[in-house]
Chain A
Amino acid sequence: MSAGVSVGLVVNPVAGLGGAAGLKGSDGAEVQRAALARGATPRAGERAARAVRALLSRRPGTRLVTVPGPMGEHSARAAGAPYDLVRAGLASEPGPSAATTARDTRRAVLAMAGVDLLLFAGGDGTARDVLDAVRELRERGERVPPVLGIPAGVKVYSGCFAVSPAAAGTLAAAYLSATPGGSATPGRSGTPGLPGTSGGSGTPGGGPGRAALAEAEVVDLDEERYRQGLVSPVLYGALPVPAAPAALSGRKAGSSGTAPGTVEGIAREVVSRMRPGVRHVLGPGATTRAVGRELGLATTLLGVDVVERVEAVEAVEAVEGAEGAEGGERDGAGGRLVAADVSEAELAGLVGGRETVLVLSVIGGQGFVLGRGNQQVSPRVLRAVLGDAPGARTGRLLVLATQQKLAALGGRPLLADSGDEDLDRMLAGHVQVITGYHESTIYRISAASEESNG
């Protein structure tokens, strides 16, 4: 029954090395050597094996595809799983202890692009390598497999990781079981219409018989800054993952506990508040990109975009000629992309002297709203938009987050690190966070410089 279903496995064998050694990460050969010198033992391989065991106990006979050596084969063998090897030209192939690099992870992913689901063991750095390979596949116009992270790194803030190795295995099994004939909706991943983030909403047409995919953000910290005590998450992109929030790091549980369309609900709320002629600055992130989608615009995931809502009549005019628009009525809002992926200087020019609203999402697990991945929103841009009264009630700063993302903060505040500490202190207080359609919360925001990074 499982015939034809194949699961790829990539292990970053050095992931997690630096954690136990107190090195706050494992990026770079020097740090890895230092960790080994401090007596650290590699754990990623064993964690990957645990995920494989959990997968096989639920779906015996699943065909495992992996690469030779510590980047997969060893874990497959440790789990007692039958496996097929693909050659990817890895540095590690000659022997079990050879050093592996980010390039090896990318090569392994590229060599296994045909699998129905790709499991990778590592941390946020590994997720970035997988993302790079996925980008390469997309550039070549090739199929991108859904991926799922087995948490094995020091930093695991990205939404593409399951909460534990066992959870990764059971989630993979559930996903494959819901996929008819093991064909994991090829070609769907990576399309702009794919909704959802790690908080999880189903793919249109999902349901029984078709496994749904969601888009999970990949974030990483700058390890050098992290070691200096400065937490600095950056959003790198998004990966297609099985939409099963129960076991993803979104920390949601229960079979029917999902709120489908939460991200779409947030986007609809933002658009319903937009008044024509008011400029809206959309920061990076999957949630803000959903706002662009709600306006019918192709805004960027990683860049800062400037949009405006246009009157319904204008929107109809914009599409006229294509199809007969009847009576000036159009469901939903229309939008105009003023500028995409702007620089700080361009943004400053676009917001000066006119009514503007900043729409920002929370980046990464630490709650950063400003200063992480959206440095284009600089102190002078903030001052131009917010004036002297940046409170919860001005409506000129809209923060977007799912309730799950806020819950994951465990009561800690959102953080602002705009680069101007006086401005950050002025922003500190409470800000309205939109969590859904006609749903919001009021949440504390602090200057990052005044919060200790513990």
Chain B
Amino acid sequence: MNTAEPFAELPVAPKPPLRRFHQARWDEPIIFELSTPGRRGIAVPEPGAPRVELPESVRRAEPPKLPELAQPQVVRHYLRLSQENLGHDLNIDVGQGTCTMKYSPKVNDRFAAAVAELHPLQHEDTVQGVLEIYWRMERMLAEISGMSRVSLQPGSGSAAIYANVAMIRAYHAARGETHRDQVITTMFSHPSNAACAKVAGFEVITLMPDADGLPDIEALRAAVGPRTAALMITNPEDTGIFNPRIREFVDLVHEAGGLACYDQANANGILGITRARDAGFDLCHFNLHKTFSTPHACGGPAAGACGVSADLAPFLPGPVVAFDGSAYTLETPERSIGKVRPFLGVTPNIVRAYAWIMSLGAEGLRQVAETAALNNNYLMSKILAIPGASAPWGRRRIEQVRYSWQELSEETGVHSEEIGVRAADFGVHYWTSHHPYLVPEPFTLEPTESYSKEDLDEYAAILAHVADEARRDPELVKGAPYNQSVHKIDPSPLDDPKAWAPTWRAYVRKHLS
């Protein structure tokens, strides 16, 4: 009697409905632990030139404690680590909370490589091509947002938000209105808005959602006043709900003398459909890695872009690229807030984003937004068919949805985070980045334009399977993952500064000595 699975009987076995995924597990040590004194990857020849004696003040007393390995060990080490990873190019990456993952076309890496040899201190005359890309990219983002000028300098989304807060502060100071010390934001605007405002010294007033899941406009009316510096708002918010009264929000703040700043980090739902300036906003920002397809690169180097109205243009971070009709030059705006990072910006990512926009054109950008919204609403219909999953407020969504496993969790004791971890056993996952935690047992899914119907079907099927497991055998889900590189981590050191070790040196000091 043949007891093998039926699909095993065919010459080429069909695949089961859910992937029998198994992640590599190499038990790989930290590279410092692989170090052997004296081992080298390259035998560097004698220079054949006289040694340069460094001044005493910059000379090291001891050589740096770098790991010492041969080339094959280095290659093997990093390939192994790369196998213990789930990135966009490996999995259906729709579950990164508000991080917004989309495909970055490989050809754009080749364009980026073309500028890799440039030095940021080269004379302007020798880098006219790159300056032209900056100029044209700025003009395209100005057209997309309706703003007058755009800075491409910020190194990330939060750097762009911070640059905008700094411009807001400088703008009011220039008008002698330093008493404007309050920034208004909303609960479901990205929390970087509140965080950057607070870092810049503002008091933060956060508007709570009303019973419909929208920020309470009457609360805004009560909040604005002579101390209002700005409204900093995301729309659609991180719930995926678009605020149809956004123009009234902007007008209320303007009437009180404040500025309106639009967090468009993720513009996937609105590209080519709405424009920040058309709704009256004075400032906005994009994350090129969320909307314009550059790599996130694990926290950097990403790239942000700040767009401003003509009134705010003198405060932009510098330098910006200027064009007189024949040559491109660098200039610092008259009342610039200064630099928010060295040099012009993350040039390879500017080149990638430029290539992406050029390949799509205006109609293509609008199609990106339409496809992203369609994908999201298709996935939402699949997710809401899973018993125990819900989308609070029940409204239509644009490009993402903050869902809740509250019902499933109260029945089974299985938490959202545990469901995401169990999903990793099937080669996908989601990450529970949903601050502030207002929606109970949250998970946020965002399929951008990159995903096919089959991708979304597979993702929804995995979540449905795990939710069913939670009902039948909650301990199985709680014990997950089983097919992953690391099976369980203890999260408590994350909350304990005494245990933090962002470097090997800190690890040795805090844990090994």
Contact = CB atoms under 8 A, between A and B. Distances in A.
B219 A253 contact: no
B474 interface: yes
Interface in A216-258: 246-247, 251-258
Contacts of A2: none
A443 B409 CA distance: 29
Nearest to A439: B204
Contacts, number: 133
A300 interface: no
A441 B207 contact: yes
B415 A208 contact: no
Interface residues of B, number: 52
Contact of B219 (A169, A251, A260, A442): A442
Nearest to A412: B211
Interface string A162-191: 011111011000000010000000000000
Contacts of A293: none
B494 A256 contact: yes
Interface residues of A, number: 46
Given A207-B498, A254-B437, A164 B208 contact: no
Nearest to A406: B208
B412 A166 contact: yes
Contacts of B474: 54, 166
A371 interface: no
Query: Is chain B's interface secondary structure helix, strand, loop, or mixed overall?
Result: mixed
A178 B222 contact: no
Contacts of B218: 430, 444
Interface string B211-228: 111001011111101000
A164 B406 CA distance: 10
A230 to B, nearest CB: 22
A19 interface: no
B499 A208 contact: yes
B207 A207 contact: no
B490 A208 contact: yes
A54 B410 CA distance: 12
B492 interface: yes
Contact of B222 (A247, A258, A429, A438): A429
Contact of B207 (A170, A247, A410, A442): A442
Contacts of A252: 437
A403 B436 contact: yes
A386 to B, nearest CB: 16
B210 interface: yes
Contacts of B198: 438-439
B92 interface: no
B491 A255 contact: yes
Interface in A411-446: 411-412, 429-430, 432, 435, 438-444
A305 B63 CA distance: 63
B432 interface: yes
Nearest to A207: B496
B473 to A, nearest CB: 10
Contacts of A159: none
| B208, B434, B499, most chain A CB atoms within 10 A | B208
A60 to B, nearest CB: 11
Given A54-B413, A170-B478, A410-B211, A442 B205 contact: yes
Interface in B344-384: none
B211 A411 contact: yes
A57 B475 contact: yes
Nearest to A170: B413
B181 to A, nearest CB: 9
Given A57-B475, A167-B413, A441 B437 contact: no
Closest 9 CB pairs of A and B: A166-B413, A411-B211, A430-B222, A207-B496, A255-B491, A164-B410, A442-B219, A407-B438, A442-B223
Given A54-B413, A208-B493, 18 more contacts: A164-B413, A178-B492, A251-B437, A252-B437, A253-B415, A253-B441, A257-B437, A403-B206, A404-B437, A404-B438, A407-B436, A411-B211, A411-B212, A438-B198, A439-B204, A439-B205, A440-B206, A444-B218
Interface of B: 187, 194, 198, 202-213, 216, 218-223, 225, 409-413, 415-417, 432, 434-438, 440-442, 474-475, 478, 490-496, 498-499
Interface of A: 54, 57-58, 163-167, 169-170, 178, 202, 207-208, 246-247, 251-258, 260, 391-393, 403-404, 406-407, 410-412, 429-430, 432, 435, 438-444
